[in-house]
Amino acid sequence: MASSLDVKNIRKDFPALHQEIYGKPLVYFDNAATTQKPRQVIERMIKYYEEENCNIHRGVHYLSQKATEAFENARRNIQQFINAKETHEIIFTKGTTDSVNLVKTSFGEEFLQAGDEVIVSVAEHHSNFVPWQVLSEKKNIPLRIIPVNDKGELIFEEFEKLLNEKTKLLAITHTSNTLGSIVDIKKFIDKAHEHDVVVLIDGAQAVMHKQLDVQELDCDFYCFSGHKMYAPMGGGILYGKEKLLEKMPPFQYGGEMVDQVTIKGTSFNELPFKFEAGTPNVEAILGLDEAIKYLQNIGFDNIAKYEKRLLDYATEKLLKIEGLRILGTSENKASLISFLIGDIHPYDAGTIIDKMGIAVRTGHHCAQPVLDHFEVPGTIRASMVFYNTFEEIDRLVEAIMQVKKMFE
Ligand code: PLP
């Protein structure tokens, strides 16, 4: 594939992009909430239902074996994609929230004691904040919070001050869904490990932008959702180091996670099945496998370069608008921009922008602690990916000018 992106052709792969909303061509800038799906992913799911549909594992008949093979093949591909050491370190979940909750229950509730401490950051999505807050309240485990600076970057020096002999877990985001800041997680992981602290990374906003290597990062857990990386909803990943997963008890009970069940007791299956109770979302995982192939075919370097150009262009254009304020100004940012237009409420602005056929997200983005920190109730968020164009950014700028005009 050539080094620059053929966006015009890429867009042909995404049927949902070619619709009119209120009589105007759709501009989809809500990619951080969920991305649109390429035809290849949609077709993979149709193929599954037309040719392979069957419950996986255990069945001896042809279809069951075919579906199982495709599912386990996806696991191997995902292992290679994130460079995990072992295939059984890949646990299929419903998504990031489910993955974090698995770790909270099977690791947090099992191994953390009253008086131990957990560190999170103020910039977490609620999915990587609330589970730890609940654990903290339930087991009397103080929750320590890494603050952010004015640019919306996690302050490493403050993190160092929070670390002590009681710290047992660090759970932080790789990329903030609200500010866009990309965290230098390697630095945090290495420092945490100096203190024998286990590290969970929420990669929900990171994996679709940049090639991931969990062995290089040396994180203990890494979570992400398929639907934010061009794959179906309802399928996600928990990566965990074997030595931790081995000693953790199951999260849920029933189905494929058992080994032997008698009326006297139950023994559990080995990794990764121990953590995969009930019928999994097979089509979502096959779709994720296909989405990864799609991204690899485009090339992560090409994606990163193009998305950076989109971010720079949009930032420059938006900053020229009088009264517009951007929240999250780190130099190391994903291609999303959170902003406010003067005193106009984000919901009012978002409603008018929507009427112009442009999908942006408005509100607290499930990250209320960080918005409290900046003392704003919410923002408007435009999140861009490789199928977006510079013309679409121009249309957003026009829409913002229209909003201003209506409120002035
Ligand atoms: N973490 C981050 C950083 C997110 O942006 C999101 C979703 O927006 C989540 C976690 C939760 O993801 P899911 O709803 O797919 O479980």
Name residue, tokens 């990943």: 237
| Atom number, ligand 1, closest to the C-alpha of residue 236 | 15
> pLDDT at position 256, please?
84
pLDDT at residue 2, rounded to an integer = 43
Cα torsion at 173, 185, 161, 150 (round to 10°)? -60
- As a whole number of angstroms, the distance between CA 385 and CA 311 comes to 9
Locate the ligand 1 atom nearest the alpha carbon of residue 97 and give its number. Answer: 16
Q: Residue 225 CA: which ligand 1 atom is closest?
A: 15
Asked if 185 and 137 touch (Cβ cutoff 8 Å), the reply is no
β-bridge partners, 172: 201
Residue limits of CATH 3.90.1150.10 in the chain: 7-30+299-407
350 lines ligand 1 (CB under 6 A): no
CA 200 – ligand 1 centroid, Å:
14
Using an 8 Å Cβ cutoff, are 17 and 36 in contact?
A: yes
Among the residues of 48-155, which ranges form H helices?
Answer: 62-82, 96-103, 110-111, 130-139
Question: Whose alpha carbon is nearest atom 12 of ligand 1?
Answer: 96
- Check pocket membership of 125 for ligand 1, CB cut-off 6 A: yes
Cα–Cα distance for residue pair 180/315, rounded to 1 Å: 12
Q: Which CATH number fits domain 42-296: 3.40.640.10, 3.40.50.300, 1.20.1510.10, 3.40.50.280?
A: 3.40.640.10
DSSP-derived secondary structure for 160-172: HHH--TTEEEEEE
- Residues with Cβ within 8 Å of 160's Cβ and at least 6 positions away in sequence, in order, are 191
pLDDT reported for residue 59: 80
Give per-10-residue mean pLDDT for the chain (408 aa).
79 98 97 98 97 89 94 98 98 98 98 97 98 98 98 98 98 98 98 98 96 97 98 98 98 91 94 96 98 97 97 98 97 98 96 97 94 95 98 98 94
- Long-range contact pairs involving 257-261 (C-beta distance under 8 Å, separation at least 24): none
Residue nearest to atom 4 of ligand 1 (CA): 204
Of 176, 366, 379, 381, the residue with max ligand 1 atoms within 8 A of its CB, to mutate for a pocket test, comes to 366
User: How far is residue 118's CA from residue 144's CA, in Å, rounded to a whole number?
Assistant: 6
Q: Find where tokens 């998504």 sit.
A: 95
Q: Whose CA is nearest to atom 5 of ligand 1?
A: 177
| 35 touches ligand 1 (CB under 6 Å) | no
The C-alpha angle with vertex 20 and arms to 17 and 23, in degrees rounded to 5, equals: 160
**Distance in angstroms (rounded) separating the CA atoms of residues 275 and 332:** 35
Cα 386 from Cα 298, distance rounded (Å) = 10
Establish whether residue 177 lines the binding site of ligand 1, counting it when its CB lies within 6 angstroms of any ligand atom.
yes
Edge-to-edge, what's the strand order for the sheet holding 236-240?
90-93, 236-240, 221-225, 198-202, 167-173, 117-121, 143-146
d(CA 351, CA 67): 44
Q: Is 101 in the pocket of ligand 1 (CB under 6 A)?
A: no
Ligand 1 near 173 CB (within 6 A): yes
What pTM was estimated for this model as a whole?
A: 0.97
How far apart, in whole angstroms, are the C-alpha atoms of residue 116 and residue 100?
A: 19
Question: Residue 333 gets which letter from DSSP?
Answer: B
DSSP notation for 238-302: EEE-HHHHHHSPPSS-SGGGEEEEETTEEEE--TTGGG--S---HHHHHHHHHHHHHHHHH-HHH
Which ligand 1 atom is nearest residue 227's CA?
15
Best substitution site from 177, 181, 182, 335 to test ligand 1's pocket, by max atoms within 8 Å of Cβ? 177
Distances (CA, A) of 65 to 44, 195, 306, 315: 17, 46, 41, 51
Residues of the chain with CATH 3.40.640.10: 42-296
Matching CATH number, 7-30+299-407, of 2.40.50.140, 3.90.420.10, 3.90.1150.10, 3.30.70.240: 3.90.1150.10
Residue 137 phi/psi, 5° resolution?
A: -70, -40
Instruction: Please answer whether residues 344 and 360 qualify as being in contact, where contact means their C-beta atoms are separated by less than 8 angstroms.
Output: no
Report the nearest atom of ligand 1 relative to the CA of 127: 10
Q: Which of 360, 369, 32, 389 is nearest to 180 (CA)?
A: 32
* CA 401 – ligand 1 centroid, Å: 31
Catalytic residue at 366? yes
DSSP state for residue 107 in the 8-state scheme: I
Do the beta carbons of residue 308 and residue 182 sit within 8 Å?
A: no
